[in-house]
Amino acid sequence: MSTGDELNWFKSSYSGSQGDSCVEVAYRPETVYVRDSKEQDGPVLPVSPTAWTDFLAHTAR
């Protein structure tokens, strides 16, 4: 991801209103980006859409 790219981050509707323990996600056609909502300038984890779908399927069990 280059510095000039703007991403539209969102939190899950399951996230609490207290601002704790939230993960934010941003989608691009080729990559899904994941970050800690408390550290918006912190590290970003890029994963493939397939890996993200597999992760969601596994956590929904």
3-state DSSP call for residue 8?
Answer: coil
In angstroms, rounded to a whole number, what is the distance separating the alpha carbons of residues 24 and 56? 14
Is the pTM higher than 0.75? The answer reads yes
The pLDDT tens digits of the residues spanning 6-48 come to 899 998 766 666 666 688 999 999 999 999 888 888 999 999 9
- State the burial class of residue 32 (Cβ atoms within 10 Å of its Cβ: 0-12, 13-18, 19+): buried
